[in-house]
Structure 1
Amino acid sequence: MNSFKKLTQQRYRLNWLQKKLVNGDMPQIQIAVMCTIGPSRFCAFLQEWRKKYPEVEIVLRNADRDKIGDMLLSGYVDCALVGGPLSNEPRFKYTELFREDMVVAFSPEHRFSRLNTVDLEQIMQEPYLDRLNCEFRDTFMTESARVGHEIQFAARSEREDWIQTLARGGLGVTILPVGSVIVEGLETRPIGAAALRRNVSLAAPFGREDTVHLRSLLSALRRFDWKSKA
């Protein structure tokens, strides 16, 4: 482990200790949520779980993929919702919760609104809004290069709300998970032929289930009927 990674984990550890001093013994579960995962399905889960444990506070930490591993290993968060495995770290246990399709998003006035599905080649011909944390970003770039299309980037951002708002306003199109749509009025269509999907999983370090409430939450996450909440 390099010195920078050690310093990062130490920083998260100090933040964790500060959190414990502030909150005392108040039941609290810290969950890192990968920034590309939408809230709708998890909201349905929390509504059901908190009926049994109303005294437990859930803290949701927004996180980029490359930071979640350190947050878990340092104890800064108890578990994480991720859109795929975190590198090759063997100390994490993964439980798949659900799968969701990737779709193309655009304004209601866009020509794609007249189509039932949109092919990748058609998307490549449009001004593109680049979601910098997108799990399929590299795949899209590679496929574009393979077929000889030079992508015209209209804007790039790590902010999901900004990219979706720009798409809704007609500045371009973007690819995103269907469950991550948060801007009202944003149109979406399935991506034809490519069948792009991602798995949303629960990640937790082995041996982390060290409190009654955390064990209950992790168990409930694994049993919940995620498909019915699509």
Structure 2
Amino acid sequence: MELYQVRYFLAVAHSLHFTQAAEEAGVSQPALTKAVKKLEEELGAPLFLRQGRQVLLTDFGRVMREKLERVVAAREEAEEAARQFLKPAEIRLNAGVMCTLGPKPLLGFLDRFRLEHPNIELHLRDVTAANAVEKLTGGEVDCAILACPAGKLPAPLKGKRLYRERMMIAFSRDHRFNTQKQVRFEELDGERYIDRLHCEFRSTFLDEVGGHKMELSFPYASEREDWIQAMIASGMGIGLLPEFSVLQPDLARRPVVEPRLYRSVELAYLPERETAPGVKALLDLAGRHLWPQAAGD
């Protein structure tokens, strides 16, 4: 007895029509009829009464339908159990993403990771420059995408460079910088500056201000990127924003020169987590992915 014979028999038993059963099974009617006749021969008794175009189950056929339905159900249950047992185990990967990172350079990378590793469930968690090391060492995240001035990660983290992005001066559309193609650092002297408290570039920027012996006023400070950009756009001050930040439509920006300011975006991890399956897969793809290039690279 073959399973296909059983399935053909059950299809006819359900529809009581050989032609319809053949269509549902996706085979020709002669092939289905031949398989049912062979099953009857193997079982030793007719399964159907054929009275012209009418088809009825025999008493033997009704008994066999009940038994063979159980056979098919048991077979399907066994196949599903085998699939569940043999399929790759689900892996949960908690990846931190710094809140100052714009999503645009990362979306294609994350989507490609999902396609290449459907068994890895990726969860993105917020991290900041201040708490990233704590969240990694505490096991809250397995790895983290961090922005670092000069590409310097805090100890004990290791990292893989993803891309660099320019730091830009953002301002309102009616600001004097809007007529320029770029802004020299010394031209920031005397400006009102909206202080981005979560910005990992903050101390580097303030060191540059001090080194140029410039004076800025700091009328406002916020941890929220949306509020910072809204205040800049309304003319309340200027701000330093990464190249790939999500921008409000009424915000203008120009690259900073003399010196040019860049930050490096790194995939950071603890050395002992480098070979963990999820982290290893993310690192491998990071090395193959085509990342954006900052101007001047």
> What is the TM-score when the length of structure 2 is the normalising length?
0.62
Residue identity opposite 2:121 in structure 1: E
Q: Distance in 1 between matches of 2:96 and 2:256?
A: 29
Deviations 1:208-229 (A, max 9, x none): 1455444222211222111269
Deviations 1:65-116 (A, max 9, x none): 1211121112211101111234332xx2211111111110112222211111
Q: How does 1:57-96 map to 2 (within 5 A)?
A: 57-84=121-148, 85-89=152-156, 92-96=157-161
Do the aligned residues in 2 keep the contact of 1:38 with 1:182 (CA within 8 Å)? no
Task: Note the 1:167-178 alignment, pairs <5 A.
Answer: 167-178=232-243
- The structure with the larger Rg is 2
Cα 1:72–1:184 change in 2 (3 A) is same
Pick one of 173, 176, 198 that aligns with 1:133.
Answer: 198
Change in 2 beyond 3 A, CA 1:38/1:78 = same
Q: Which runs of 4+ in 1 moved over 4 A?
A: none
> Could you say what secondary structure the match of 2:290 adopts?
coil
Measure, in 2, the Cα distance between the counterparts of 1:140 and 1:52.
Answer: 39
Partner of 1:120: 185
Q: 1:27 aligns with which of 91, 111, 123?
A: 91
| Alignment of 1:38 onto 2:105 | no
Deviations 1:175-214 (A, max 9, x none): 1211123323321101122111111111111131455444
Comparing both chains, which one has the higher relative contact order based on Cα–Cα distances under 8 Å and sequence gaps of 6 or more? 1
**Are 1:41 and 1:229, in contact at CA under 8 Å, matched by a contact in 2?**
no
> Taking every aligned residue pair, what percent have the same amino acid on both sides?
37
Tell me the SS of whatever aligns to 1:125: coil
Give the counterpart letter for 2:272 in structure 1.
G
Name the amino acid aligned to 1:113: N
* Runs of 5+ unmatched residues, structure 1: 1-24
Structure with the larger helix share: 2
SS in 1 for 2:268: strand
Say whether the 8 Å CA contact 1:167–1:174 is kept in structure 2. Answer: yes
Contiguous gaps of at least 5 residues in structure 2: 1-88
How many residue pairs get aligned? The number is 204
